[in-house]
């Protein structure tokens, strides 16, 4: 079991308290307002609008030619041009359950996309019993998707619109790693006979890797890699080590960052650092034998969403830092690390006043964020000087 988690209360760590960055005064340009400028601990940055008019954008993926794919939760996939213009919705997506937290969710390019044009996306799929998160692959043909294949369906499908997750990444082993929510059925996160509240590991054709930890067991689904997760909405591969990191929502407190290891139990809802929305206790406490402690948790909750390691050269002081969006605090969390040890944190963009849904490390060396609203935006963070 890992050592005690790095704890944060009201956004300030006990290990190292960092100053909260405040927006600096920006001088308007002659033709239009200048991008807002923020002075942070180690850099002064501005936030430039790349695209507007997106309805609840959920995820971004950068195309090799400099354009961007963006999912909209109501069930649309858009192409954002280099000039910020939005394409019409890409055609031939499958039916999407767009209700509550459900909809079109993550999107990711295959490592061989330049030649294969293959991409992956997750979405809430309607069906008997309600809906469940699904993973599909398709070939991107510019204005439409071709050869759409559903590679995985979370079982069982359930009524309600909460806790679909989800994120997908290619791990260091070339496999697909998916993070799912427990559909607000707490105890199912501990049930190895269902996919709720689990990390799933698949071959890129959707088949089950022979070395998954529960292969061959009659009491467990072979696709499961780890379990005891609540609602995973951030997942990223570390750029140096290749290890997969994730974050998941707590209830009232107890948002967690974890590194999902083979066959491990991450505790929900038996252990948590948070409490129920009513204030009632959940489970047996914050720790138990055989259950993993998070690398970091936020109490109170920041409602994390989106996650990226910054590897660019545009803001050198941030290189190697982890960035996590916040849905309820309207800010971007910067986490400074020494390996897997959290050194300190900094709250960024606190004056932006927008829910941050996704965070991506851009191929041009900038950091990008997507804001979650009916008039959502894609924003680029760049040095102000």
Pairing of strands 232-237, 76-80: unpaired
Q: Which of 56, 163, 249, 273 is catalytic?
A: 163
CA 39 from chain centre, in angstroms, equals 26
* Half-sphere exposure at residue 62, Cβ-oriented, CA atoms within 13 angstroms: 16
In the beta sheet, which residues pair with residue 13?
8
Q: Which of 152, 180, 158 is nearest to 167 (CA)?
A: 180
- The reply to whether 163 belongs to the active site is yes
Tokens coding 57: 């954008």
Structural Rg of the chain based on CA atoms: 20
CB-count burial class (<10 Å; 0-12, 13-18, 19+) for 218: exposed
Q: Do the beta carbons of residue 237 and residue 266 sit within 8 Å?
A: no
Angle (nearest 5°) at CA 44 between 39 and 50: 105
Residues with a catalytic annotation lie at 163
């Amino acid at each position: 079991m890992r050592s005690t988690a790095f704890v944060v209360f009201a956004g300030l760590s006990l290990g190292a308290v960092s100053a909260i960055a405040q927006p600096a005064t920006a001088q308007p340009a002659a033709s239009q307002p200048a991008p807002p400028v923020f002075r942070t601990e180690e850099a002064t940055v501005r936030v430039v609008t790349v695209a507007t008019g997106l309805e609840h954008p959920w995820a971004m993926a950068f195309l090799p030619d400099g354009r961007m794919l963006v999912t909209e939760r109501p069930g649309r996939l858009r192409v954002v041009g280099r000039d910020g213009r939005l394409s019409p919705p890409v055609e031939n997506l499958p039916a999407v359950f767009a209700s509550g937290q459900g909809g079109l969710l993550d999107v990711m390019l295959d490592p061989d996309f330049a030649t294969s044009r293959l991409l992956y996306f997750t979405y809430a799929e309607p069906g008997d019993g309600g809906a469940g998160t699904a993973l599909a692959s398709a070939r991107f043909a510019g204005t439409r998707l071709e050869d759409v294949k559903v590679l995985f369906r979370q079982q069982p499908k359930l009524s309600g619109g909460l806790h679909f997750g989800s994120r997908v990444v290619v791990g260091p082993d070339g496999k697909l790693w998916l993070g799912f929510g427990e559909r607000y059925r707490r105890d199912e996160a501990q049930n190895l006979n269902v996919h709720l509240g689990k990390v799933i590991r698949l071959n890129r054709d959707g088949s089950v890797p022979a070395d998954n930890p529960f292969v061959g067991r009659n009491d467990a689904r072979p696709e499961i890699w780890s379990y005891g997760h609540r609602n995973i909405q951030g997942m990223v591969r570390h750029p140096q080590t290749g290890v997969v990191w994730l974050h998941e929502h707590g209830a009232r407190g107890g948002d967690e960052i974890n590194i999902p290891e083979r066959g491990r139990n991450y505790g929900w809802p038996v252990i948590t650092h948070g409490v129920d929305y009513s204030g009632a206790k959940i489970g047996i406490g914050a720790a138990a034998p055989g259950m993993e402690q998070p690398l970091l948790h936020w109490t109170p909750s920041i409602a994390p969403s989106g996650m990226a390691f910054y590897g660019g050269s545009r803001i050198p002081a941030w290189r190697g830092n982890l960035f996590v969006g916040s849905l309820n605090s309207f800010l971007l969390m910067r986490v400074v690390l020494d390996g897997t040890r959290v050194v300190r944190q900094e709250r960024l963009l606190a004056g932006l006043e927008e829910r941050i849904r996704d965070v991506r490390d851009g191929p041009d060396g900038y950091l990008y964020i997507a804001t979650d609203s009916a008039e959502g935006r894609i924003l680029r963070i760049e040095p102000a000087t």
